[in-house]
Amino acid sequence: MKPTLLILAAGMASRYGSMKQIDGFGPNGETIIDYSIYDAIKAGFGKISFIIREEFLDSFKSIFEPKLAGKIETDYIFQTFDLKKYGIDKEIERAKPWGTGHAILEAQKQIHEPFCVINADDFYGYEAFKNMVDFLTKEANATTYSIVGYKIGNTLSENGSVSRGVCQTDTAGNMTEINERTKVYRKNGQIVYENEDGSTHPLADDTPVSMNFWGFTPDVFSVTEQLFIDFVHQNEDKPKAEFFIPLIADYLIKHHKANFKVIPTDAKWFGVTYKEDKETVQESINKLVENGTYPTKLW
């Protein structure tokens, strides 16, 4: 059974200022998701599942259905505010969904095969998709998951700080810890992360970080559901608290329930954290088209 690519596209794009998930960046208006899907099909994925807000459905269908028909199976999963499905009766007011960990949990009734999770607004490159397919088809099981580890120096924005999950690994290349650093930037040539108290701490350019490119089997859903329920109860009075995927990984690692193989890559990530990033992304994609990495017209 071919693995599924689960694309996280339910965010409100608060910093970017518009629905960047379906903004055009390629020479023919291709979205960043288009390039991810193109690479995923080439790498051997068998289905594309979009995690979206229900109000985005018509926009997504009108953009992706015509170009993907006959090329790969697609489906849509809604990330909602409904907690009753998890046995939680309380109504909790929130402006945004519960985060990336909750997003993958919403997919549990529609995904029954090994799957990969990515962000909608990040450009990852073919190598990452091919390596992930190889992992999901040959190595993944109930206790062996993975994450693609990008070098932090290849993942920064020139237009402001970024959030990155900083990975620590053991000698076997398995992740031992992941720490979410919400303010990472380059200062006087040195990459640093800044804490809430304003203190800064250096990071080496080749430090592996998460760009939310994860490999799982459906076994992860049962653990995730209980963790999410606990998280909601602990944070019901914190409307901005988010249940991130790294929280799931951290629990599985520390309780010796699963290993996460860090799949290294030298690829340069680029994405649109800020609206000012758009021109840089367009230039990067144009260069990849010019050197033959992608055709001028994807579909």
- Tokens 């901005």 correspond to 240
CB 32 within 8 A of CB 25: yes
Report if residue 104 sits inside a domain: yes
Report if residue 295 sits inside a domain: no
Whether pTM > 0.85 for this model: the answer is yes
How far, in Å, CA of 43 to CA of 127, rounded? 8
CB 173 within 8 A of CB 259: no
Range of the domain at 26: 4-290
Whole-number pLDDT of residue 22: 58
Report if residue 119 sits inside a domain: yes
CATH of the domain at 117: 3.90.550.10
Report if residue 239 sits inside a domain: yes
Report if residue 299 sits inside a domain: no
Count: domains in the chain: 1
Q: Exposure of 19 by Cβ count < 10 A (0-12 exposed, 13-18 middle, 19+ buried)?
A: middle
Q: Which mean pLDDT values do the consecutive 10-residue runs of the chain (299 residues) have?
A: 94 46 79 94 97 88 92 96 92 88 96 96 93 97 98 92 93 94 94 95 96 97 97 94 94 97 91 81 93 95
Residue 71's CB: how many other CB atoms inside 10 A?
Answer: 12
Task: Give every CB contact of residue 58 below 8 A, 6+ residues apart in sequence.
Answer: none
Report if residue 298 sits inside a domain: no
Task: Give every CB contact of residue 285 below 8 A, 6+ residues apart in sequence.
Answer: 25, 26, 27, 30, 35, 123, 294
Whole-number pLDDT of residue 15: 41
Whole-number pLDDT of residue 277: 83
Report if residue 48 sits inside a domain: yes
Angle between helices 220-235 and 245-254 (to 10 degrees): 110
CB 181 within 8 A of CB 163: yes
Report if residue 59 sits inside a domain: yes
Question: Phi-psi category of 65—alpha, beta or left, where left has phi over 0 and alpha has psi -120 to 50?
Answer: alpha
